[in-house]
Structure 1
Amino acid sequence: MNFTSIFKSISNFQFPYTLEETPNHETGLWQVFNGTRKSDSLPITAFKAKPNSTNAPLISNAIHKSKVLKIPGLCKVLETFDSDANATFIVVERVSPFPWVELSKFSKNKFALGLVVSQILTTLKFLDAFVLGTLSEQSIYLTDKGECVLFGLELCTKKTDVDPYAFANNLRVYAACMGIPMGPEDSKLIDPIKLVQLINRILGTIPKDWKIPASALEKGNMTIDKFVDKIHNTQTWIGNPLIAIHREFTEFHIKDPEGKLVVITDVENIFLDSRDLLRNLLPGFLENLIIPELCNMINLLINSQMNPNAASLSKVAATKLISFIAILLDLSFENQYFNEQYKQVVFASFKLQDRQIRFLLLIYLPKLIDTLDSNDVSSKIYPHFIQGLTDSDATLRLQTLKSIPIIVPSITERQLNNELLRYLAKTQVDSDIEIRTWTVIILTRVSSKLDESSRSSILATAFTKSLKDPDIKPRLASLYGLSEAISLFDVSTIANKILTVIAPGLLDKDPLVRMKAKDLFERYLNKLESQAMLLQEANMEIDKSKDIDFDSYGTDDTQLVEQFMNNLKITSVNTNISLKEEEESKENFGELPSHMEANPFNGNLDVGNTVVNGDDDGWADFDIDDGNLANNETSSSQFFNQPVNMVKSWNDELNEPEQPKKYVSPLHHKKNVVIPTTKKASLRNGGIASKHSGHPIVNKKETKNDDIDDGWDNNDADPWDEEW
């Protein structure tokens, strides 16, 4: 239903509330909508009338009485709208129908139901001057603080103004609209009788010490006001601590800090004496009444502890804080209620230096973490939590250490891989054996969350250090950690680092450590062997390595001698061929001069302006004039008009046919070119001498258009020639 459009049609009136589209409850006279006030988002409940010609007087009376009656125990009316018969509203603070379907649950706590009855009786006592007439199950509602209130003033009339005939007619109409029994038409009896019926419905039976007053009330011999005064002195009323607590909380807002502390102390006593008293209460009683005020008191005590001027509370702050925080945590977790006030108390409590409070918080930490987001944990809890690892008390250090796996998923990577690991490095050398042992256990439990790039080194270092611990517990813990972390190490890390970590344990002085180290070593070794088998299967076709007998390696030189002799034979054959060719040359050209018999080209020969250096030293000599010309006894004139003994070069037969002329760089014409020859292979190096080794290559003088014959031409194109 669009309520805004309805009110806009009325003189452009703006409805100041936002209501839900569908009602959450409905009776024969009213539709009940939840909503909020636009100005401040206050939760409200709006009762929208269902008018017709028959019930119009009842609705009109309810609107009127809602405006004038401001009695505790009635729904607190914020505003009424009755200018339009089709849009008649009574707006009250948020209420909800009494959960009658859960009455069996509440019956487990008889004091909680006794509190319900006391609240109804207190309201009727204030209405003693009026006839209500509508008291029934449908007229009882609950506030967000779990307090019972009444709604339904359709028949409400001042006792002095009651018209018996009109009242009876209206009672019949009301009963028909609501679908309930009409009850007695006598205005003096209707409320007492309905009250006794309601008490019996809530409690299941009338308490023994209430039966006599209830009987007198039902017969009209006692007013409701007198009945309430009578049962105030009964054990059922006096012995109900919840009634006294509720009365104190109704005045809580006007009490000073000391008075509020007294009320919260009463709650503490109830909690410590009988925990069941605070179970199975009406919805909202703990969450919106007790817990918020408990949070306020804890904050007040924390501030007074930090402020020496607040002497009145600072004296008891230290003794009361631990108890109040414990009650808050227990009640919050049992009722799964975690509002912003609760979170702020938790954050403030972690800042306290009191060891008892910090130990209490560590006990509840597994539950606390689930109620907070990661940002709050890492920024508001972790910085204070981690200080427990440096506390002088070993018990607190140990409990903090044990709680690390709980907080690790909620902290940042920097906090885990930098700050936390530094603290663990210190606890690993703690004087307490249990702390050293638990350090290894905790490191094992969080190892899967460590940075992969540094995890192997960190674990190897930590486990190595613990294996050297003088006490057996840390050593066994180290072996346990290595056993649990085996899946985190790759085979390369196992081979290079982990096996060397376990190996010292094989020589431990304790037999249990040696046994466990041996079993663990075999586990890691089996993992390596399994990987090796996979490598062997993958490389089976290409793996053709053969074993070497290094005992006899290099002692048999038979093959080396045989190779040497074969090379010697080849060299001898080539030498014989060279000598034969030299003899043939002598027969054709005659004897050479004595000083040239050893090397026919020992001097310089000028043939057709082509200079040949007889002292050819291979690639090492490119100088034409090496200074021997002036001192050489044999001049070039000795060869005039004489035949020259020429020996073919080894690559003469490879010379290509004459090719088309190419461009030759002018650099080639600045001096005569001497082409080095391949040196004769040395017999000492095992080389094989070529057929014409040791003889220079004699080239004719280059002309301007001739190609340079470098003695290395073959049938393929010369890349240098192509470049030019």
Structure 2
Amino acid sequence: MDFLKSAVTAAIAKGSSFPVSLGDRVDIGDSIWTLHNGTKRDDSSACSVFAFDIAANKSRLPLAKNAVRKSRTLRHPGVIKVLDTIETETNLYIVTERVTPLTWPVKRRSLNEETAKWGLYSVASTLKFINEDASSVHGAVRASSVYTSESGEWKLGGFEVLSSMKEDDAIIYTYGSIVPDAARYTPPEVLKGGWDIIKRHPLAAVDAYGLGILIFEVFNGFFAGADQVGKTTNIPPSMQQSYKRLSTANPKLRLSPAHFVEQGKKHGGFFQTPLIRLSEDIESLGLKSDAEREEFIKYESSPPFKHLCEINIQANVTFPNGSELDNLSEDFPEDFFKMKVLPELLKSVEFGGGGSKVLGATLKIGAKLSADEFNSKLTPVVVRLFGNPDRALRVCLLDNLPLMIDNLPQKVVNDKIFPQMTSGFTDIAPVVREQTVKAVLSIINKLSDRIVNGELLKFLARTANDEQPGIRTNTTICLGRIARNLGPGTRSKVLIAAFTRSMRDPFSHARVAGLLALSATVDVYTEDDCASKILPAICPSLLDKEKLIRDQANKTLEVYLQRVRKFANTMADSTFPPTAPTESAKSEARIGTSNDKSWAGWAISSFTNKITTANGEIQTAADGSKPPEGDAARSASVPRPTKSSPSTQLELPKDPKRPSAQPLNRSMSDRPVPVVRQKEPEPMEDEDEVFDAWGAMDDNDPDVDPFTAAVASPKISSPDPAGKASAVPFDDGGEPDFAGWLAAKSQAKKNPLPKGLAKASSTNTVATRATVNTAKPRTVAPVKKPIDTKPKDEEIDDDWGDAWD
């Protein structure tokens, strides 16, 4: 039957002439009213509708009519705001602001102490107004008569028996006992003498008793009956004494709601809380003077701004260190801040002179808004504030940017906020530049690639060379953290240049930041950059004057070495193609082999490989004769040994010193081979003589620079294109031309010179042949007469070694 009645009521309310659309029904327990969530047709705003069915509750109709009448006339911030009242033949309607029954959080015991005190203060203040200013008695103060608005404020309702004591026929005298559940909440003196007895007691005695019961319900969740009145279970200690005086059985000794509020507002009283102070002053914040606003906000100047690296920067800007708004707990009613505090703070910031002092709390509250609420209430204000030239306001905006960046659309950040931020990179105040660099980390994910790799990097390049060392340091840290947001084309080039420069910074913390940034971004560089650019830049830091930097340099170096080594293990052993195995005869001719493990073995093997792997045939001598078989591996300039006269075999000189080696690319047939006998080395006495020895390479002619001769580019003899023997005999430059010497010796025997001139001539010849310069080399004419290299029976004078003297 109740469901049918509700359906009929809803059908009537949905008529075209009804100004409100009824929604879901809200449970309010035992009441003469049914509560519905509604929506106003004219502006689609939310509201609540209290509906009374006349046919179903004829006996309580006077109570409903009294509530409608009193709701129209009673106006107070602590009273439910009535938007409209509608009376029909079948129903009574009271349209109010959107409210929720307080019994819901009370039964769940979800109210914290701070919020409970704030709500009780509001109810007590409203009862003070009703009793003293309106000279009336509410008569039904309890949890079911209190509602919470959308802003979280507690609003007093339940005006069924609200009566003025100036009226002789007040409704409370006649109908006070038919209020639902009246027996449980009626004061003891009324139970004994009826409602008329209230005329002989203080006017506020009935409401004071009901306020005491409300306090017990709020902190305990449920009120069973009169035996619980006055018990202090779960009541805050600071409130217990005043609570007992509210609940006393003697109405003349009861503490009135007005006195209850007064005791709570004393210094150190239970109503001296930040939330209560805020709620009292927030609506008039825009009208307060600067002194009053300072007293409310309670900002204190902070010490000079401190850099990330503990560098003090002096600036004519102060920052909030704390305020009532900042000290508010996280469990305070969010709806109150969204609906009541936030709009007033925004007005104060923009128009009331609050500025940065109020902005910090405003943005903290805004962080609790949904994306839609933030965009509608805060985004337009934030965009306008970024255009404000006030430095303190700009620093506060940048400092709180992480709280609101998630709710800011990307288009707004790119088109409106970042262009305003760029002025902070070049501001004359160091603290503004510092906060601007830090704010980059908050907005980097909202910026487009064009801005990040264009404008942003240009501004960071300026701050990387800032006169303040802390700003340079934080720029390096910023680049390290946004490294992966940079484009692949500019990332490594920019980061390597920035970090290596930071490692040369005279400020020690900047050098540490550069090393840390390199360690954090090791994966963004190529292996070639790691080996050729970064590792050489790290090495000087290994011997830094600061131990902190040396330690970090070692850690960073190890990180890059591990990466380079890991990549080197994946590389091929060589880029040269594998060579075919050579013949055993050729291997025997090599001076060194690949198995040679000495430090110079690779160089000797490389040289001999080129010789032993040469292709083609050895050309014949100038006279057309071929070397005998079996001597193919012997040099043409070395005489062949004979079995008949083993004593005639030439022995190599025992002096290990040889003339300076000539370049391999020069044909020895184009210039004579120097035959010089080097002197025995003398022991060096000190280090200077060692360097002197390296400086004098030619003892015969000190004017000749051996390195100049070595790098000279002589004319290379080209091979015979027809494949015929060259007119110039081949000389490998490895040993003296013994065959040529024998021929010269035979000619000398035919035309002997005086003995005194022989050695001088040889010496002059040697000196002439040993001289190396840049003149055009002369070509040695081929010997026409065949050389007889066959050993003779007679003993040869073995004086060829004189040529080395």
Q: Fold match, TM over 0.5?
A: yes
Unaligned runs of 5+ in 1: 302-316, 569-682, 688-724
Q: Secondary structure at the match of 2:38?
A: strand
**What's 1:363 paired with?**
399
How many Å apart are 1:478 and its aligned residue? 2.8
Q: Distance in 2 between matches of 1:465 and 1:406?
A: 25
**Where do 1:468-487 residues align within 5 Å?**
468-487=504-523
1:30 lines up with 2:38 in the alignment: no
Aligned twin of 1:325 = 359
CA distance in 2 between counterparts of 1:181 and 1:366 reads 51
- Following the alignment from structure 1 to structure 2, what is the Cα–Cα distance between the partners of residues 207 and 519? 62
1:494 aligns to what?
A: 527
Q: 1:186 aligns with which of 190, 195, 206?
A: 195
Output the amino acid matched with 2:528: A
Match of 1:551 among 602, 607, 612: 607
Q: Tell whether 2:98 aligns with 1:94.
A: yes
Distance apart, 1:339 and its partner CA: 7.5
Contact 1:35 1:46 in 2 (8 A): yes
Q: CA 1:503/1:518 → structure 2, altered by over 3 Å: closer, same or farther?
A: farther
Cα pair 1:63 1:82 within 8 Å, conserved = no
Q: CA shift at 1:151, angstroms?
A: 1.9
Q: 1:473 to 1:17 in 2, by over 3 A?
A: same
Cα separation, partners in 2 of 1:260 and 1:285, compared to 1, 3 Å:
farther
1:155 corresponds, among 157, 161, 164, to 161
Instruction: Quote the offset at 1:37 in angstroms.
Output: 1.3
Deviation at 1:67, TM superposition (A): 6.1
Residues in 1 aligned to 2:195 and 2:339: alpha-carbon distance in whole angstroms = 40
Return the alpha-carbon distance in structure 2 between the equivalents of residues 346 and 471 of structure 1. 36
Give the structure-2-normalised TM-score: 0.56
Once the two structures are superposed, what CA deviation does each residue of 1:157-193 show, in whole Å capped at 9, x if it has no partner? 45466669x86774444235x8954553314539733
Say if 1:194 and 1:516 are closer, same or farther in 2 by CA, change over 3 A: closer
For the pair 1:510 / 2:514, whether they are aligned, the reply is: no
Q: How does 1:450-469 map to 2 (within 5 A)?
A: 450-469=486-505
Report what 1:13 is aligned to: 16
Describe the SS at the equivalent of 1:175: coil
Instruction: Report the secondary structure of 2:49's partner residue.
Output: strand
The 1:96/1:464 distance shift into structure 2, 3 A limit, reads same
Kindly indicate whether the alpha-carbon contact (under 8 Å) linking 1:338 and 1:371 is maintained by their aligned counterparts in 2.
Answer: yes
Partner residue of 1:79 out of 84, 94, 104: 84
Aligned in 2, Cα 1:265/1:381: closer, same or farther, shift over 3 Å? same
Mapped to 2, the partners of 1:215 and 1:395 lie a distance apart of 58
| Aligned partner (choices 196, 208, 211) of residue 198 of structure 1 | 211
- Rounded Cα–Cα distance in structure 2 between residues aligned with 1:155 and 1:109: 28
3-state SS, counterpart of residue 429 of structure 1: coil
- Per mean C-alpha deviation after superposition, the further-off stretch among 126-135 and 446-455 is 126-135
Q: Report if aligned partners of 1:131, 1:188 keep a CA contact under 8 Å in 2.
A: no
The 1-side partners of 2:551 and 2:327 are apart by: 56
- Of residues 397, 411, 414, the one that matches 1:375 is 411
Q: 2:296 corresponds to which letter in structure 1?
A: V
SS in 2 for 1:381: helix
Check if 1:294 corresponds to 2:298.
no
Aligned residues: 539
Name the SS for the 1:403 alignment partner: helix
- Contact 1:44-1:92 at 8 Å conserved across structures: yes
2-side partners of 1:420 and 1:55: how far apart? 76
Is 2:467 the counterpart of 1:422?
Answer: no
| Post-superposition offset of 1:385 | 2.8
What amino acid is the match of 1:426? R
- Give 1:267's match in structure 2, choosing from 296, 316, 325: 296
Could you say which residue in structure 2 is the equivalent of 1:705?
A: none
Contact kept, 8 Å, 1:350 with 1:384, in 2: the verdict is yes
1:228 Cα offset (Å): 5.7
Contact 1:347 1:381 in 2 (8 A): yes
C-alpha displacement of 1:101: 4.8
CA 1:273/1:445 → structure 2, altered by over 3 Å: closer, same or farther? closer
From the superposition, tell whether residues 118 and 277 of structure 1 become closer, same or farther in structure 2 (CA, over 3 Å): farther
Tell me the C-alpha RMSD between the 2 structures.
4.7
- Aligned residue in 2 for 1:410: 446
Q: Which runs of 5+ in 2 are unaligned?
A: 217-234, 301-321, 581-593, 595-601, 625-719, 725-805
Match of 1:175 in 2: 180
Q: Deviations over 1:319-366 (max 9, x none)?
A: x53322234345555899958444444333333333333333333233
Mapped partners of 2:327, 2:474: distance in 1: 40
CA 375–119 in structure 1, closer or farther in 2 if over 3 Å, else same: farther
State the alpha-carbon separation in 1 of the partners of residues 120 and 59 from structure 2: 35
Q: Does 1:561 align with 2:617?
A: yes
Indicate conservation of the 8 Å contact 2:476/2:499, yes or no.
yes
- Map Cα deviations across residues 452-482 of structure 1 (whole Å, 9 max, x no partner): 2321222233234334445554444333322
Partner residue of 2:146?
A: 140
The answer on whether the counterparts of 1:237 and 1:243 sit within 8 Å (CA) in structure 2 is: no
**How many Å apart are 1:146 and its aligned residue?**
4.4
Question: Any conservation in 1 of the 2:326–2:361 contact (CA below 8 Å)?
Answer: no
Q: 1:235 to 1:519 in 2, by over 3 A?
A: closer
Instruction: Verify the 8 A CA contact 1:7 1:15 in the aligned structure 2.
Output: no
Change beyond 3 A, Cα 1:139–1:519: closer
Label 1:50 to 1:278 Cα distance change in 2 as closer, same or farther (>3 A): farther
| Residue 13 of structure 1: how far off its partner (Å) | 3.4
Q: Give the structure-1-normalised TM-score.
A: 0.62
The structure 2 residue matched to 1:41, chosen from 32, 40, 44, is 44
Q: Secondary structure at the match of 1:453?
A: coil
For residues 247-285 of structure 1, give each alpha carbon's deviation from its aligned partner in whole angstroms, at most 9, with x where no partner exists. Answer: 6667x4xx9x65476764553249967669855656644
**Residue identity opposite 2:362 in structure 1:** L
Give the conservation status (yes or no) of the 8 Å contact 2:298–2:323: yes
